[in-house]
């Protein structure tokens, strides 16, 4: 079977897209799945934690697989991930930014470069997770065009109804023009502060906005916990951390993974 592909998106930075991609990938690997993560953010945060060995600045990466100027195919740039069963399409900074600029002026078909590249390796995986950049630019459009489902990652307090509307409008355009199969697999609320009154009231607002549009907020919410940041930074799965708290948090990601995959079944 060919891989199911999900893009983790939010045009805001710092909401937890990369962190969530990392822990969802871990959950899938633990289930014995073959997983590929794609680092579509020129900042390369996911690459720095998910690749088994440090990726050098001048090493071939996603940019080379997307640019018409580079000879590499995607299979040539994939590197082993931290865990058996995980591979990474790495990003080493500057170059992906220049491909984004190339895509701005490229003509027809520019939105399909990633899906075309992934089609060459999709049979080797069960699951492909695309960690999008904090923007709605051509790189993100490529991510959405390649995906079966979008996972929206957000803070409970940051997401104005307006921000949600903007992302959903982009998803709809991509669905209309480039990728009719695209759906929203779910909304993951990250760094939730359940003990604060403002956390709770923002959450209600967000749930109402989402559900009014027929979208699902995935339960349970992911709380704000230092161990999530620490484990990610240390390139460790939550199950590998060794505390009961971390293990329980890891199980939330496993649950979200199942919900997301069900949505695209």
Residues at the site binding ligand ADP, with contacts judged by CB under 6 A: 13-19, 45, 134, 190-191, 222, 224-225, 228-229, 232
Return the number of the residue (121 or 192) whose C-beta is nearest ligand ADP: 192
Q: Which does 175 bind (CB under 5 to 8 A by kind): Mg ion, ligand ADP, none?
A: none
Verify binding: residue 113, Mg ion, rule CB under 5 A: no
For residues 196 and 221, give the distance between their C-alpha atoms in angstroms, rounded to a whole number: 14
Q: State the binding partner of 229 from Mg ion, ligand ADP, none, CB within 5 to 8 A by kind.
A: ligand ADP
Asked whether position 45 contacts Mg ion by CB under 5 A, the answer is: yes
Using DSSP, state whether 22 is helix, strand or coil.
Answer: helix
* Cβ count near 89 (within 10 Å): 29
- Distance CA(261)–CA(6), nearest Å, equals 9
Residue 58 CA to residue 147 CA, distance in Å, equals 28
The least distance separating Mg ion from the CB of residue 11, rounded to whole angstroms, comes to 12
Q: Give the residue with the Cβ less far from ligand ADP, 86 or 152.
A: 152
Query: How far is it, in rounded angstroms, from Cα 37 to Cα 128?
Result: 6
Build a one-symbol-per-residue string for 121-140: x at contacts with Mg ion by CB under 5 A, - elsewhere: --------------------
Quote the CA–CA distance of 146 and 111 in Å, as a whole number.
Answer: 9
Q: Is 18 in the site for Mg ion (CB under 5 A)?
A: yes
Q: How far is the CB of 79 from ligand ADP (least distance, A)?
A: 20
Beta partners for residue 183, in sequence order: 149
Are 128 and 24 in contact by the 8 Å Cβ rule? The answer is: no
How far is the C-alpha of 261 from the C-alpha of 98, rounded, in Å? 33
CB 150 within 8 A of CB 183: yes
CA distance 25 to 34: 9
DSSP 183-195: EEEEEEEESB-TT
Query: 14 or 220, CB closer to ligand ADP?
Result: 14
CB of 209 vs ligand ADP, minimal distance in Å: 19
- Binding partner selected for residue 47 from Mg ion, ligand ADP, none, CB under the kind-specific 5 to 8 Å limit: none
Q: Which is nearer to ligand ADP, 99 or 238 (CB)?
A: 238
We find the least distance from the C-beta atom of residue 242 to Mg ion, in angstroms, to be 26
Of 145 and 156, which CB lies nearer to ligand ADP in the complex structure? Answer: 156
Q: Give the nearer residue to Mg ion in terms of CB position, either 45 or 156.
A: 45
């Amino acid at each position: 079977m060919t891989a199911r592909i999900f893009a983790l998106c939010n045009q805001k930075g710092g909401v937890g897209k990369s962190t969530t991609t990392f822990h969802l990938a871990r959950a899938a690997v633990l289930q014995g799945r073959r997983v590929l993560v794609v680092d579509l953010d020129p900042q390369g945060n996911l690459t720095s934690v998910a690749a088994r060995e440090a990726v050098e600045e001048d090493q071939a990466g996603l940019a080379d697989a997307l640019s018409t100027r580079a000879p590499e195919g995607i299979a040539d740039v994939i590197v082993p991930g931290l865990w058996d069963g995980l591979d990474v399409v790495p990003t080493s900074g500057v170059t992906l930014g220049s491909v984004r600029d190339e895509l701005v002026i490229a003509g027809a078909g520019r939105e399909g470069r990633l899906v075309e590249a992934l089609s060459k390796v999709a049979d080797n995986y069960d699951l492909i997770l695309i960690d999008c950049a904090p923007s709605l630019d051509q790189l993100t459009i490529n991510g959405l065009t390649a995906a079966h489902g979008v996972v929206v990652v957000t803070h409970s307090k940051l997401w104005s109804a307006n921000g949600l509307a903007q992302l959903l409008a982009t998803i709809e355009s991509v669905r209309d023009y480039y990728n009719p199969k695209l759906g929203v697999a779910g909304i993951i609320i990250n760094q939730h502060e359940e003990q604060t009154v403002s956390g709770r009231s923002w959450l209600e607002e967000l749930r109402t906005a989402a559900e009014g549009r027929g979208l699902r907020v995935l339960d349970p919410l992911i709380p704000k916990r230092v161990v999530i940041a620490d484990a990610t930074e240390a390139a460790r799965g939550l199950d590998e951390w060794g505390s009961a708290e971390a293990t329980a948090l890891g199980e939330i990601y496993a649950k979200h993974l199942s919900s997301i995959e069900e949505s695209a079944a």
